[in-house]
Amino acid sequence: MKVWIALILLAGSVFGGELRLLCSTFPIFQLTRNVVGERDSVSVKLLLPAELGCPHDYVMTPRDIRRLTKANALVLNGLGMEAFLTSTVQRVNPELIMIDSGAQVASLTVETPHACASTSCDHDHRPQHHHHRAHKHDREPTGPELNPHAWVSPIRYATAAATIAAELAKLDPAGGATYAANAAAYAKRLDILQAKITTLAKSNMQREVVADAQAFAYLGADLGLSIVAELPHGGDSSSAADMRALLKTTEAHKPAAILTQPSGSRRLQKLLKRDASLPVLEVNLMSTGPIDAPLTHYETVMLKNLDALAHLLQSREP
C-alpha cells in the first residue's frame, strides 16, 4: 500500500502525463493559453478570479489554495506582482515550479509623482493613495519598486510569451517546438499593435493626460504620453479633498483627457463625470476580463483602446 502511494506520488512529480499550469493573473492566463495552443497534454487554469483586477493586496481563499496544491507549475506576471502568494506556495506546495514571465521584460520602476532636481531631496515623493505600495515599502525598504503592469505594453507582452515558451519547453521538451512556434506567431500579432503604437507616438497629438500612473505607465511610455496628474491605483481610496486637488492640478495643466479603467473606482468615475471639464475616456487595460475570453481578446481590446486614444488625442490641438 505504502509503495503504491509512493509510486503515485512519483508519477505526479513528473506531471503524470498531464502538465497542469496555473496562471496568477488574467493577462498572464490569456498569454499562456496562446503559447500552449492546442497541446492536449497541458491544462491552463487561472488562479485568481478573472474579475479581480490587480491582486496587489489579495488574500488567498481556500479555493485558490486547492488550485495551488493541484498544479505542477505556476506562471507568474513577475516584477513583484505576486508578492502576496510566495509564502503560501512555500507552505502548501513547495514543489510547485515557478515560471516568471516577467524575467526578461524591460521593466519600469514605479514613478514618483514629480521629478526632483536635487539628489539630496529626501521628502516623500510617493503618492498618498497607493495603499499596496505602502505595504511593500514596509517589507522592502531599499531599492526602486518595479512597476508590475508590463502586460499593458504589447512589445513586453511578446517578450513574456517567449519566456513562457522557453520555460515550458524545459518542463515538456516534446512540446518545445510547438510552444516556440505559438509564441512567435503570437508575437507577430502583437507586432501589429506595436506598429500602431509607434505610428501614434510619432504623430502630432496632444500628450498630456490624467491617469492611473502605475497602470498606464508602460502604454504611456510607449505612446510618449505625459501623465500630469494621477488617479489613484486600484480601490476606492480617494477623498473629496483628493478629488478637489486632482481637479485643480488638472485645470492648471489643461491636459487632453482623463483616462479611466473599467476596473477602477466607480465612485471616482462618477465624480469625474460630474465635475471634470475634460473628456473622460475609459481605456481597458485588461487587468480583468472574461474567463472564457477568446484567444484574441488582448489584441481586440488593445486595438479599440488605441483607436479611441488616437481619435481623442489627435482631434485636439497640441
Q: How far is the CB of 20 from Zn ion (least distance, A)?
A: 27
54 lies in the binding site for Zn ion (CB under 5 A): yes
Nearer to Zn ion, 56 or 182 (CB): 56
In the structure grid, which three cell numbers stand for residue 299, read together? 489584441
Nearer to Zn ion, 54 or 228 (CB): 54
Q: How far is the CB of 215 from Zn ion (least distance, A)?
A: 6
Nearer to Zn ion, 73 or 302 (CB): 302
Q: How far is the CB of 54 from Zn ion (least distance, A)?
A: 3
In the structure grid, which three cell numbers stand for residue 189, read together? 500579432
Nearer to Zn ion, 286 or 312 (CB): 286
In the shown chain, the binding pattern of residues 2 to 41 toward Zn ion, with x for contact by CB under 5 A and - for none, equals ----------------------------------------
**Residue with grid cell 488593445, as numbered in its chain:** 302
110 lies in the binding site for Zn ion (CB under 5 A): no
Quick one: which segment of 34-42, 54-62, 122-130, 306-314 binds Zn ion (CB under 5 A)? 54-62
**Residue with grid cell 503560501, as numbered in its chain:** 88
Residue closest to Zn ion, measured at CB: 54
123 CB neighbour count, 10 Å cutoff: 6
DSSP 124-191: --S-TT-HHHHHHHHH--SSPPBP--GGGSHHHHHHHHHHHHHHHHHH-GGGHHHHHHHHHHHHHHHH
Q: How far is the CB of 197 from Zn ion (least distance, A)?
A: 21
Q: Which residue type sits at 263?
A: S
Residues binding Zn ion (CB under 5 A): 54
